[in-house]
Amino acid sequence: MIDLQPAGTFALGDRTVRRMGYGAMQLAGPGVFGPPKDRAAAIAVLRAAVEAGVDHLDTSDFYGPHVTNQLIREALHPYRGLTIVTKVGAVRGPDASWNPAQSPGQLTQAVHDNLRNLGLDVLDVVNLRIMGDVHAPSEGSIEAPFTALAQLQRQGLIRHLGLSNATPAQVVQAQRIAPIVCVQNHYNLAHRADDALIEQLGAQGIAYVPFFPLGGFSPLQSEILTRVATRLAATPMQVALAWLLARAPNLLLIPGTSSLAHLRENLAAAALALPADAIAELDRIAAEGQAKP
């Protein structure tokens, strides 16, 4: 029996969600493009996540494109008790490229695409995905695209707004335009550039949602991580997730997988308590640059 309760909960706008959630990106085909190899298996993973107690799903209509949202609708609609967070700001090219789409018209189209494919009248949370380097945000004004999303929020199409791949300065700029409920950035045991931002957001009651919590397409590898996992009779990925849960109370996790076995492994990390000496040891990974893809 998987128990998500030990990980606790945190506010996401006007909702309270469990801190262990699920990210749907890996349900699309290779390169997050096209349909899954096994549609029935993808549906089964989504249903198993919710049956285990997950109530926070992360997705985007540019995954596929359209694929993950359509899978979520088929598997889970009408979403009783679920909070679905999506993101806009990019489109996929026919060659599977990721291209910026941040004009007011493009953002409006993206919001309506998400509404249609998810089967919703209003989106719970929409993150503006700022298009820079996939691993690190780039400075630059987001006034125009975030203002466009704030207008769509005022029209009643979006409940809450957030940011993805944002710098601290962009967070401040967005907050001058409209409140935000979450920031989704690259963060994990080995990539800790946002330590200060996490604390700042926590003081404001704003969720921080790490993407690539397990290293992304190249999983985290570290002798320290392996050693701690062995000592705790856990897998390295469970320890990496448990470290994130212990890092700060405003962190919400959305590890993704297309495998039922990996889903269960990830969710079981919610009940893994790390002793203080293990946390201190794991903190050395970033400080010493010991993790590698």
Tens digits of per-residue pLDDT, 222-251? 999 999 999 999 999 999 999 999 999 999
Average pLDDT over residues 132-147: 89
Give how far Cα 251 sits from Cα of 52, 128, 205, 207, 241, Å: 20, 19, 11, 6, 11
| Confidence (pTM) | 0.96
22 counts as catalytic: no
Is the pLDDT at 31 greater than 80, yes or no?
yes
pLDDT by residue (tens digit) across 261-274? 999 999 999 999 99
Token pair recorded at residue 175: 């907050």
Query: What was the pLDDT predicted at 292?
Result: 53
**Residue owning tokens 């008790």:** 81
135: confidence class by pLDDT, cuts 50, 70, 90: low
Is the pLDDT at 293 greater than 70, yes or no?
no
Active-site residue identified among 22, 63, 187, 208: 63
Average pLDDT over residues 58-84: 98
Is the pLDDT at 44 greater than 90, yes or no?
yes
List, in sequence order, every residue forming a beta bridge with 164; answer none if it has no partner. Answer: 129, 184
Per-residue burial over 205-232, b if 16 or more Cβ lie within 10 Å, else e, is ebbbbbbbbbbeeeebebebbeebbeeb
Average pLDDT over residues 88-103: 96
Is the pLDDT at 290 greater than 60, yes or no?
no
